[in-house]
Amino acid sequence: MNILYKDFKNEPILDFSKEENRKKVFEALNKIKKNLNREILPLISGSRAQSINPADPQEIIATVSECDEKLTQKALEEAEKKFYSWAHTPVKKRAAILKKTAQVLRNKKYDLIALEILECGKQWMEADGDICEAIDFLEFYAQEMEILEEPRKLGGEPGQNNLYVYKPKGVGVVISPWNFPIAIPVGMIAAALVTGNCVLFKPSGESSACAFEIVKAFEEAGLPQGVLQFLPGKGSVIGKYLAKHPKIHFIAFTGSKEVGLEIIEAAAQTQESQHHVKKVIAEMGGKNAVIVDADADLDEAITGVLQGAFGYQGQKCSATSRVIVLQDNYEKFIERLKEAALSIKIAQAEDPGSFVGPVISKKAQEKIKQYIEIGKKESTLLVEREVPQKGFFVSPTIFIDVKPNHTIAQEEIFGPVLAVMKAENFDEALKIANGTRFALTGAVFSRSPKNIEKAVKDFDVGNLYINQKSTGAQVARQPFGGFKLSGVGSKAGGPDYLLQFMNPKTITEKTMRQGFSPETI
């Protein structure tokens, strides 16, 4: 079996046990706090919104000028003007800009970590991991496009030459979330740019300051003006307008299932002036399950479940939200899970020891609390902790005796809420795990080769983990993405991701000529 990308090296994470690294993060945090409420502009100033610290809503990280439809249309027109020249820019030059952008992010790593901590409530290691992933996307897609650039020769009859090549689609939209505020948008933008497309970038309002740093990084790396347009604003205004626009060729989206399906529906409506079918690349979330087998190593299982469920407050599409435990292990598992959950530290993300910090917004906090109240009516509460009153904190919450049809076992909550269920055998556990509309990530803790083989064949998820947590996919190692209502298209950080941003073209030439036309000689 050939090993793909065995020579690709993922960006190393920082070691925060070293005093030097901790000192640099604290210095970066202090620097941002001295320059709060910075102004962030799109191409032209529009209405304004604020990006705040979810651990301290009185701290305004940035005031963001928002775009409306008129400004968005102007940005689209500018991108159209730039498309031809960018599409015909040599691949090596486009790839070089991605690699230079990766270096810019490396140089600014501590400042970006601090910004993610303050704007998005990311813990130190979570923020570092996000920036490492962004760097990986840039390096990997640059490498991939240099491979795809080469025309592939196909078979044919004598006197005929057949080639297979790729061409960029056109002007597209990148709509990114706040939970991976640098990695996810960088990945989508990098894929679109290196394949020769122009991009209109609409970031989440909760992470506009991080998004602005992305645009600055590409500019510093030498990206020509107008190829990447920065359009902060309301998704209900900009997102809907662009999804329906006849001049948009593709939409790369990561976010909720509800918004993703709206975009897919809008993009499917072909207008009279439209000369193409829009491509939608969408990742839309999950309701991810972990199966704990009767012979599982509970030390590993407890650690994996806690990290998967409560890492970054459960605000990951890959987060563990369901645990299905075989009955032989059920009582031991919930007893140990309870003690472990009671020991984790709840604090603002600036605290390097924080395990659970604030959720992203007041709206998110209220929604998660509503699900917790539903869970109390449906099942049995195992863990609920006291949390700081200042900021948008939600307790890491665990329910047991949850049934597969319960609300908290079916709907994506996007917060630190975990549903624990019991299964009589491994087949029933698999049936429960597959019993949602999502198919993103899943994990199995087991020592049984037979049950592991069953999971490999029948656990319907895009990313399956054996004896490790359901989060933490790395570029080129675990290409990321799911199916069912978790997403459409192929996997980010994988061998076929860039293909979604291009059109394949076959060129057939008859090589047996009757001489050449004189004017061409």
List, in order, residues 6 or more apart from 480 with CB less than 8 Å away. Answer: 283, 318, 462, 463, 473, 491, 492, 493, 494
From the list 126, 133, 283, 412, the catalytic residue is 283
Judge contact between 178 and 206, C-beta under 8 A: yes
- Integer Cα distance of 65 and 50 in angstroms: 9
Residue indicated by tokens 């925060």: 16
Beta partners for 160?
510
Of 416, 388, 174, whose CA–CA distance to 316 is shortest? 416
Tell me whether residue 68 is exposed, middle or buried, using C-beta atoms within 10 angstroms of its C-beta: 0 to 12, 13 to 18, 19 or more.
Answer: middle
Give me 116's structure tokens.
């993610």
Of 105, 384, 310, whose CA–CA distance to 220 is shortest? 105
- 97 CB neighbour count, 10 Å cutoff: 21
Of 197, 219, 231, 273, whose CA–CA distance to 73 is shortest? 231
- State the DSSP string of 69-131: HHHHHHHHHHHHHHHHHHHTS-HHHHHHHHHHHHHHHHHTHHHHHHHHHHHH---HHHHHHHH
CA distances from 123 to 17, 310, 346 (A): 15, 11, 11
Give me 143's structure tokens.
């490498």
In this structure, the dihedral spanned by the alpha carbons of residues 334, 453, 308 and 327, taken in order and rounded to 10 degrees, is -10
| Secondary structure, 3-state, 209-264 | HHHHHHHHHHHHCCCCCCCEEECCCCHHHHHHHHHHCCCCCEEEEECCHHHHHHHH
DSSP class of residue 462 equals S
Judge contact between 215 and 228, C-beta under 8 A: yes
Judge contact between 218 and 27, C-beta under 8 A: no
- Integer Cα distance of 27 and 34 in angstroms: 11
- For this structure, is 317 an active site residue? yes
- For this structure, is 120 an active site residue? no
> C-alpha angle 44/46/50, rounded to 5°?
115
From the list 206, 213, 317, 350, the catalytic residue is 317
CA distances from 371 to 50, 414, 473 (A): 27, 10, 27
- Return the amino acid letter for 109: K
Residues annotated catalytic, as ranges: 283, 317
